[in-house]
Chain A
Amino acid sequence: MPQKIVVIDDEKIVCDMAKKILENEGYEVETFMNSQLALERIRQQRFDLVITDLKMENISGMDILREVNHLYPQTKVIMLTAYATLDATIEAIRERIYDFFPKPVKIDELKKSVKKALES
């Protein structure tokens, strides 16, 4: 049974590339460009890992992180962001973020982080 990952980013290319790479690693990947729809999906379905952008229209990555922590404390969250301000980073750490990737994302490191998150 492959592990389930959801990728949320309002950039289509981020979703597409993450899906391609992670599926190639053997995971089952769902992508959402709309964070509202993603949150609704998360509420129905438990994922093993959530990869989300921080700043998005509608619901922010931080809101998703809080919701995931609340619903599924075992699910890890990796955050991608183009705006890695210190405030946002501290807040994410307080919300028990698993990993934090500034854009542009290095795929090898992301892959390593995903692997580690799902092994533990």
Chain B
Amino acid sequence: MTIRKRIIIAALVQALLICIICFFAYISFKAVLTKLRTIEVIDDLNISLLEMRKAEKNYFLYKDLEALKELIKLGQERYELLKSTRYYVEPGLHDWAKKNYKVLLSTLKKYIELAQLVVNSREAPPHLEDELRNLGHQLTTFSETLLRKERENVNVIINQNIKRLIGSLVVILLIQLVLWQYFFRFIIQEIGIMGQLIKMVAEGQLHEVAAKPISPHNEIEIAIKAISDMARMLEKREEELLQTGKLASLGVLISGVAHELGNPLNNISLIAQTYLSLYDLLGDEDKKTYMGDVYTQSERIKRIVENLLDFSRQKKQELREHQLGDIVMRSIGLVGNNLKISQVKHHLSLAENLPPVFVDASQIEQVLINLFINAIQAMPGGGDLFIDVFQEPGNEWVFVKVRDSGTGIKKEILPNIFDPFFTTKSTKGTGLGLSVSYGIIRQHQGEISVESEEGKGTRFIVKIPAIKTNKGD
């Protein structure tokens, strides 16, 4: 689900909760309002009743019929009013009061009728008067009780509403907390993955990032996929760069190889010429030996060409267990003739019992050949090339140290030598050799570093993680 959708849904849920609370609050307030109106009506009734009782009292004291007529008039007015306001008063009443409201109405009616009866009969019998007084008393008591109860009821409702509002507020806050917690945890988790991938790209682990299977479901996953795609493109570019760097080395190697081919070709040529000019003098054994030599020399040519072809081929990275010493020796073999032409003597020191390394042999070869060629070019008048393969005790790396006795590198430019396209060889260099080497070694989780002193020579140290072997077993 996209983050946009998640946010919208979260907002909708919130809005819905608020609407529900508002709805209940509205209903409660409406109930309170109805109650208040009811109380008003009952209050009015109470006042009227008191006046009626006053009229009733006057009648009993002074036998004043006019007072009784006043009572009837007031009573009738009140009865009509109660009847007409019944539709909104009744719903506001307590269940108990609803039943009794009818009784109230009928009692009031009865009270008025009784008063009318008294007025009409002029000399009312005493039981009629008692009944009138009794009804009046009933009415006031009832009305007062009703008023008291309804007032209490209003308080209850208002208190209930306050509790309900606070309760809903707490529930909403809790829901929000849970919702946002879940939401942020999700976002933070995804951003964490993104950060990890970016770090991996920075560390050069492009293949692992590019190989990450991602089907994006939200905006962050789209960004993650973009990083993965970027890593794939970078990997492709790096492969191309690797090949370009290799071709640059190849240019130098080829001049050495061309010369290296000269010897076996010269040998074959000499054998053929000797064979032709001394044919009659040569014995069968000699002739056999000569042909055997021709075969050996042609095999030598084949091997030289194969090595070169093998080096120049563009290959997919293939990590395997190798002895670093073997790769170093093969690389020296490839630059052997360049060393010879340039009168550079190499001194290989290979420690025994080194642990294997997990590398792409051809890529490491490319790095070493680049270092060797640089060293040879730094010693135009010949010199010494020291190559040490070793391990430091307790250390989990295998080291290759390549030291020359050449011109050295100026201090100012030392920090730049691993930058792409940085070269001191003007048009002769591409500036890719060391930057590609750096990339290769980083991809192998290794390190490459340089120390140099102008006029004395340069030392490159390549270190590659060793495969842990259980020597104790």
A joins B in a complex: yes
Q: Are A24 and B281 in contact (CB-based, < 8 A)?
A: yes
| CB–CB A82/B262 < 8 A | yes
Chain A residues with CB below 8 A from B293, complex form? 13
* B274 interface residue per 8 A CB criterion: yes
The total of chain A residues at the interface (CB under 8 A) is 19
Is A83's CB under 8 angstroms from B259's CB? yes
Residue of B nearest to A56 (CB): B340
Verify if A11 is at the interface (C-beta below 8 Å from B).
yes
By size class, the interface of chain B is 20 to 34
* Cβ–Cβ < 8 Å partners of A74 in chain B: none
Bound Cα distance from A27 to B271, whole angstroms: 19
Q: Is the CB of A11 within 8 A of B266?
A: yes
Is there an interface contact between A83 and B341, defined as CB atoms closer than 8 Å? yes
A9 smallest CB distance to B (angstroms): 9
Query: Cα distance A57–B277 when bound, in Å?
Result: 31
Residues of B within 8 A of A20 (CB): 274, 278
Chain B: CB-nearest residue to A106? B273
Chain B residues, CB < 8 A from A21:
274, 277-278
Check A55–B341 contact: CB distance below 8 A. Answer: yes
In the complex, what's the smallest C-beta–C-beta distance from A100 to chain B, in angstroms? Answer: 14
- How far is B405's CA from A100's CA once the two chains are assembled, in angstroms? 32
With an 8 A cutoff between CB atoms, is A107 at the interface?
A: yes
Residue of A14, A20, A60 most packed against chain B (CB within 10 A)? A20
Does chain A have a CB within 8 A of B247? no
Residues of chain B in range 253-270 having any CB-CB distance to chain A below 8 Å: 259, 262-263, 265-270
B268 to chain A, nearest CB (A): 8
B297 on the interface (CB 8 Å rule)? yes
Q: Is A115 an interface residue (CB 8 A)?
A: no
- Contact A105/B340 with A21-B277, A82-B259, A82-B262 known, Cβ cut-off 8 Å: no
Residue A41 lies at the interface, judged by CB distance under 8 Å to chain B: no
A13 and B341 within 8 A (CB): no
What is the CA–CA distance of A12 and B267 in the complex, to the nearest angstrom?
9
Q: Which residues 1-43 in A have Cβ within 8 Å of B in the complex?
A: 11, 13-14, 17-18, 20-21, 24
User: When A21-B278, A60-B343, A104-B266 are in contact, do A13 and B259 touch as well, CB less than 8 Å?
Assistant: no
With a cutoff of 8 Å between Cβ atoms, the chain B residues found around residue A108 in the complex are: 273, 277
Chain A residues closer than 8 Å to B266, beta-carbon distance: 11, 14, 82, 103-105
The answer on a CB contact under 8 Å between B341 and A17 is no
> Which of A60, A82, A103, A107 has its CB near the most chain B CB atoms (within 10 A)?
A82
**In the complex where A24-B278, A24-B281, A83-B341 touch, is A17 in contact with B262 (Cβ < 8 A)?**
no
Q: Is the CB of A13 within 8 A of B278?
A: no
- Assembled-state Cα–Cα distance A55/B342 (Å): 10
Contact flag A105-B263 (CB < 8 Å), given A13-B293, A13-B297, A24-B278 = no
Secondary structure class of chain B's binding surface, majority of residues? helix
A83 proximity list for chain B (CB < 8 A): 259, 262, 341
Known: A24-B281, A55-B341. A107 touches B262 (CB 8 A): no
Give, as a whole number of angstroms, the nearest-CB distance from A107 to chain B: 4
The contact string, 1 if C-beta is below 8 Å from chain A, for chain B 207-242, is 000000000000000000000000000000000000
CB distance from B275 to the nearest CB of A (A): 9
Residues of A within 8 A of B340 (CB): 55, 57
Who on chain A is nearest to B265 by CB? Answer: A104
| Chain A residues whose C-beta falls within 8 Å of the C-beta of B269 in the assembled complex | 103-105
Instruction: A9 to B413: give the CA distance in the assembly, Å.
Output: 43
Give A108 to B297 CA distance when docked, in angstroms: 22
Complex CA–CA separation, A24 to B278 (angstroms): 8
A17 to B272, CA, bound (A): 10
Q: Are B270 and A17 in contact (CB under 8 A)?
A: yes
For B270, the chain A residues whose CB sits under 8 A away are 13-14, 17-18, 104-105, 107
**Bound complex: CA of A55 vs CA of B266, how far in Å?**
14
With A24-B281, A55-B341 as contacts: A17 and B259 at CB distance below 8 Å: no
**Considering the chains assembled together, what is the distance between the CA atoms of A94 and B234 in angstroms?**
56
A107 with B341: CB separation less than 8 A: no
User: Closest residue to B255 on the A side, CB-wise?
Assistant: A83
User: Would you call A107 and B281 a contact (CB within 8 A)?
Assistant: no
How many angstroms between the C-alpha atoms of A106 and B273 in the bound complex?
Answer: 8
Q: Which residue of A lies closest to B277 (CB)?
A: A107
B contact residues around A14 at 8 Å (CB) = 266-267, 270
Given contacts A24-B281, A60-B343, A82-B259, whether A17 and B274 have CB atoms under 8 Å apart is yes
Give the Cβ gap from A64 to chain B, nearest Cβ, in Å: 15
Output the nearest chain B residue to A104 by Cβ-Cβ distance.
Answer: B269
For window 305-345 of chain B, which residues contact chain A by CB distance below 8 Å?
340-341, 343
Question: In whole angstroms, how far apart are the Cα atoms of A105 and B272 in the complex?
Answer: 11
A105, chain B: closest CB distance, angstroms: 6
Q: List 15 A-B contacts (CB under 8 A).
A: A14-B270, A17-B267, A17-B270, A17-B274, A24-B281, A55-B340, A55-B341, A60-B343, A82-B266, A103-B263, A103-B265, A103-B266, A103-B269, A107-B277, A108-B273
The 4 A-B pairs with the shortest beta carbon distances in the complex, nearest first, are A82-B262, A104-B269, A103-B266, A13-B267
Residues of B within 8 A of A (CB): 259, 262-263, 265-271, 273-274, 277-278, 281, 293, 297, 340-341, 343
Q: A11-B266, A13-B271, A55-B341 are in contact. List 15 more A-B contacts (CB 8 A).
A: A13-B267, A17-B267, A17-B274, A18-B270, A21-B277, A24-B281, A82-B259, A82-B262, A82-B266, A83-B341, A103-B262, A103-B263, A105-B270, A107-B273, A108-B277
